[in-house]
Amino acid sequence: MAWRKRELIGLVVLIAGFVQLDCQAVFEDGKSGRSILVVIGAAGEEEFGKAFRESGERWHAAFPSDDFSLLDGTDLAKSDEKDHRQQILDWIAKDESKRVDGDPIQERWLVLIGHGTNDRKAAKFNLKGPDISAETITKAIASVKARWLIMDGSSSSGPFINALSGENRIVITATKSGAEQNYARFGEYFSKSITDPTTDLDHDDCVSILEAFLAASNRVAQFYENEGRLASEQALLDDNGDSRGTPAAFYRGARPVKAPADGLKLDGSLASRMIASSFGQPDLRTGDQRAKCEAIADQIELLRSRKKELAEEEYYLELEKLFLQYAKENALK
């Protein structure tokens, strides 16, 4: 089978040229069609408020051409007509994001920057005004057809995965449980990672949500190591709907090196295809092409997970077939 493996290596190199086009779909006016709401929660102390605002500014600078909204709960002097909890719910209910070239995949990003709390009743994100719970967000997004990214960079945010996990959703939390109540730094590092070229682990001129998650997690770990302190936060990513979440320790670079217990599926496949920033050329494929490529990518991931179950020749023949299909769908007409 050595010849088959050599052929596949050459095929992968060829496909890499097509994958460069995967980075980000755009309209003719340069917009991506995704809708983003960044919420800066109540700061409590000015030191935290400054850090939260800086993270919000990085998010704003990263997406100048998108449908971007910002709620700043550290601005106590500003009198809002509605409390921020209601404004979040109004934004979720407002389903007016553009779609790229008839693309069936619509992205909605909800980013929470601030403090969180957790008790026996609910996990909540602290807002200016009434706090918002994970359950409240879950109910609000249930009827909105979109691909969701929900990033909660607050302390005690782990239970947000249990509540929000679902099909076509990426949920990221700064902590693995509600018991991790100390100030969380993950959100700050995530905001720095989304546009950092060094975050591009697979060198495809894009930063995916998975790559940003891995980079931010590693930077958090490095912070605690440098400070000689016991880490009080461990971020999780869930994108397969099993409500379990996966830490960055399951990856080396952008490739998984561990498998979940009990035969569960590893998180990260969907997050690896959602793009935070691009340094190369935009994706010019049609919406139908992108949808077909995503379906094939899912088949490739499933096949890889079954490698040990298949005969070597059968595995590589199936892998070759899927790679060729992927390359064909990626080719511009």
8 Å CB contact between 171 and 150: yes
Using one digit for the tens of pLDDT, what is the confidence trace for 56-90?
A: 999 999 988 778 999 999 876 666 667 999 999 99
Do 107 and 245 fall into the same domain? yes
Q: Could you list the residue range(s) of the whole structural domain that residue 306 is in?
A: 1-23+286-333
Tokens of residue 226, six digits: 């440098």
Using one digit for the tens of pLDDT, what is the confidence trace for 254-280?
A: 888 887 777 778 899 899 989 898 876
Nearest residue to 267 via CA among 293, 232, 294, 305: 305
- Mean pLDDT for the chain overall: 83
Give the pairing of strands 107-113 and 35-40: parallel
84-93 vs 134-141: helix axis angle to the nearest 10?
A: 20
Looking at the structure of the chain, the number of domains it has is 2
Do 172 and 196 fall into the same domain? yes
Do 41 and 161 fall into the same domain? yes
Torsion, Cα 289 294 297 303, to 10 degrees, reads: -120
Out of 282, 306, 325, pick the residue that ends a domain. Answer: 282
Using one digit for the tens of pLDDT, what is the confidence trace for 192-236?
A: 999 999 999 988 888 999 999 999 999 999 999 999 999 999 999
Using one digit for the tens of pLDDT, what is the confidence trace for 274-315?
A: 989 887 655 666 667 767 777 787 788 778 777 888 888 888
Tokens of residue 189, six digits: 């590092």
State the CATH number of the domain containing residue 108. 3.40.50.1460
Do 233 and 198 fall into the same domain? yes
Out of 282, 297, 318, pick the residue that ends a domain. Answer: 282
From residue 306, alpha-carbon distances to 8, 9, 11, 267, 300 in Å are: 18, 20, 21, 16, 10
DSSP secondary structure string for all residues of 128-147: SSS-EEHHHHHHHHTT--SE
With H, G, I as helix, E, B as strand and everything else as coil, classify residue 53. helix
Do 56 and 159 fall into the same domain? yes
Do 18 and 43 fall into the same domain? no
Nearest residue to 330 via CA among 298, 300, 294, 276: 294
Confidence of residue 106 (pLDDT cuts 50, 70, 90): confident
Do 173 and 274 fall into the same domain? yes
d(CA 163, CA 103): 28
Do 251 and 312 fall into the same domain? no
Give the pairing of strands 169-173 and 107-113: unpaired
Residue 21 has pLDDT above 50, yes or no: no
Do 325 and 183 fall into the same domain? no
Neighbours of 311 (CB within 10 A): 9
Do 19 and 132 fall into the same domain? no
Do 190 and 325 fall into the same domain? no
Do 195 and 58 fall into the same domain? yes
